Amino acid sequence: MQKIEKWRVKEFALILNELALLLKAGNTRDWANVFFHFHDESQKIISKDKFDLDSLSKLVKNIKNCFFGNSSFTNIVLRHENSEEKARINQSLYLTRARLLKILMDLEGRLVDYIN
The DSSP secondary structure of 69-112, one letter per residue, reads TT-GGGG-----SSHHHHHHHHHHHHHHHHHHHHHHHHHHHHHP
What are phi and psi for residue 60, nearest 5 degrees? -60, -45
Q: Which residues contact 37 (CB under 8 A, 6 or more apart)?
A: none
pLDDT of res. 1:
38
What does the pLDDT look like over 70-112, one tens digit per residue? Answer: 778 888 989 999 999 999 999 999 999 999 999 999 999 988 8
pLDDT of res. 111:
86
What does the pLDDT look like over 44-60, one tens digit per residue? Answer: 999 988 778 899 999 99
Q: 75 in a domain, yes or no?
A: yes
Question: For the chain, what's the residue count?
Answer: 116
> Could you give the number of structural domains in the chain?
1
Q: 81 in a domain, yes or no?
A: yes
pLDDT of res. 114:
61
Domain encompassing residue 45: 6-111
Q: 92 in a domain, yes or no?
A: yes
Q: 106 in a domain, yes or no?
A: yes
Q: 53 in a domain, yes or no?
A: yes
pLDDT of res. 104:
95
